[in-house]
C-alpha cells in the first residue's frame, strides 16, 4: 500500500448518517471521494464493537488511517428510561474500544458523533461548545448522555497523553433518507412522515400530538455528512464542534407538519391534539463556531430536504425500517 493511501473507516455505516456519508462520498463533487481514499462502511455484521477482541480484529483487517465513529446503542425515551445502565455501559465500551484501537493502530484522526442530549438539562440558550460539562444532563437518558460526554473526556486525555488527533461533533436533530420511520421509536420527522403516509393510504385523519409550537433545528443528513467529511479534513481542534443550521432556521413542529402534508400531497383531515404534551419548547444551539471556520457552507433549505426525504420514503416504503 502506498503511503499516500487513506483508509477511512465509518462505524455505524448502515445508519441514517452512515448512509448519508456514503451518498456524499459517491455523489458530491466538493466533499466526495478524493484520489487515494478508500472508504469502508462497517455494519453490525462486521463485528460487535462492544467486544474488545472483535473491535481489534476489525482494525487488524482494515488498518484504517482515519475513523468517522457513528456507531452507538440508541433508543427512544422509554427505552432509555428503562435501561440507563445498559446505554451507559454499552456506549462506554464501544467508544473505549474504538479510541483505544485507533491509538494502538496509529490512526491519524478520529471524528466521533455526540448528541445535543449531552448538554446540561438546566442551561441558558443558545447552547454552545463551552457548556458540555456545566451541569447534569436530563435525567431521562443520563446513561446515554454521560457515555457520550466521556468521548470528549477521552479525546482530551488521548491528545494530552499520546498526542492523538481525536475530536467530536455535536449534531442537532438529523433527518433524511435511510432513517428509522417507526411510528413509536423514531424521531419526530420520520415518525410523522410515516403517520401521514398511513393517513393518506387509509383515508383517516392525520393528527399530530401537542400544539405544534415547539421549535427545533433540523439538519439534513446529507448536509451533516458533508460537514463530517469537512471536519475530518479541516477541523484541527480536540474540543467538540456543534454541527447545526443557524438559530434563525429553527422551525416549529407545526411547520414540520405543514411541510410533510404538502410534500406527501395529503388532502385529508389534518389537526393537532392539544391534550398531548409538547415536550421541551426549544433547545437552541449556536453554530457560530462552525460558520466562523466554514463560512461558505450552504445548508439545504428545509422544504427541499424534506421533499427529498418524503420521495425516498415513498420509493422504499416496503423495505425501510418502520
- Grid coordinates representing 21? 456519508
Percentages helix, strand, coil for the chain (3-state, rounded to 5) are 45, 15, 40
Q: What is the DSSP letter of 285?
A: B
Task: Look at residue 136 in the predicted model and tell me its pLDDT.
Answer: 93
Task: Look at residue 277 in the predicted model and tell me its pLDDT.
Answer: 82
Mean pLDDT over all residues of the chain?
Answer: 93
Please tell me the distance from the alpha carbon of residue 177 to that of residue 305, in angstroms, as a whole number: 10
- Three-state DSSP at 47 gives coil
Q: What pTM was computed for the model?
A: 0.94
Judged against a pLDDT cut of 70, whether residue 78 lies above it is answered with no
Please tell me the distance from the alpha carbon of residue 48 to that of residue 276, in angstroms, as a whole number: 39
pLDDT digits (tens, 9 = 90+) for 91-136: 999 999 999 999 999 999 999 999 988 999 889 999 999 999 999 9
Task: Look at residue 1 in the predicted model and tell me its pLDDT.
Answer: 39
User: What mean pLDDT comes out for the span 252-271?
Assistant: 96
Share of the chain above pLDDT 90, in %: 84
Q: How confident is the model at residue 281 (pLDDT cuts 50, 70, 90)?
A: confident
Rounded to a whole number of angstroms, the CA Rg of the chain reads: 20
Q: What residues act catalytically?
A: 144
Amino acid at each position: 500500500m502506498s503511503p499516500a493511501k487513506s483508509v477511512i473507516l465509518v462505524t455505524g455505516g448502515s445508519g441514517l448518517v452512515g448512509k448519508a456519508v456514503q451518498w456524499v462520498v459517491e455523489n458530491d463533487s466538493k466533499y466526495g471521494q478524493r484520489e487515494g481514499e478508500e472508504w469502508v462502511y462497517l455494519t453490525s455484521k462486521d463485528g460487535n464493537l462492544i467486544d474488545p477482541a472483535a473491535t481489534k480484529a476489525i482494525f487488524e483487517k482494515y488498518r484504517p488511517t482515519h475513523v468517522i465513529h457513528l456507531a452507538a446503542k440508541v433508543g427512544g425515551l422509554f427505552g432509555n428510561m428503562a435501561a440507563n445502565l445498559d446505554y451507559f455501559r454499552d456506549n462506554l465500551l464501544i467508544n473505549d474500544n474504538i479510541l483505544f484501537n485507533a491509538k494502538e493502530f496509529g490512526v491519524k484522526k478520529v471524528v466521533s458523533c455526540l448528541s445535543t442530549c449531552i448538554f446540561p438539562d438546566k442551561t441558558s440558550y443558545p447552547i454552545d461548545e463551552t457548556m458540555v460539562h456545566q451541569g447534569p444532563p436530563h435525567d431521562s437518558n443520563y446513561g446515554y448522555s454521560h457515555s457520550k460526554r466521556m468521548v470528549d473526556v477521552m479525546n482530551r486525555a488521548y491528545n494530552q497523553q499520546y498526542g492523538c488527533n481525536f475530536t467530536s461533533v455535536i449534531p442537532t436533530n438529523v433527518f433524511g433518507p435511510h432513517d428509522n420511520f417507526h411510528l413509536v421509536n423514531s424521531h419526530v420527522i420520520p415518525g410523522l412522515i410515516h403517520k401521514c403516509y398511513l393517513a393518506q393510504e387509509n383515508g383517516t385523519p392525520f393528527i399530530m400530538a401537542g400544539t405544534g409550537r415547539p421549535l427545533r433545528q433540523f439538519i439534513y443528513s446529507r448536509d451533516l455528512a458533508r460537514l463530517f467529511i469537512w471536519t475530518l479534513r479541516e477541523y484541527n481542534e480536540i474540543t467538540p464542534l456543534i454541527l447545526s443550521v443557524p438559530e434563525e432556521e429553527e422551525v416549529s413542529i407545526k411547520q414540520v407538519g405543514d411541510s410533510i402534508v404538502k410534500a406527501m400531497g395529503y388532502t385529508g383531515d389534518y389537526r393537532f391534539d392539544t391534550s398531548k404534551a409538547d415536550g421541551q419548547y426549544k433547545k437552541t444551539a449556536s453554530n457560530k463556531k462552525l460558520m466562523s471556520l466554514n463560512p461558505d457552507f450552504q445548508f439545504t433549505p428545509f422544504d427541499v430536504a424534506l421533499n427529498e426525504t418524503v420521495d425516498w420514503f415513498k420509493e422504499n416504503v416496503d423495505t425501510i425500517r418502520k
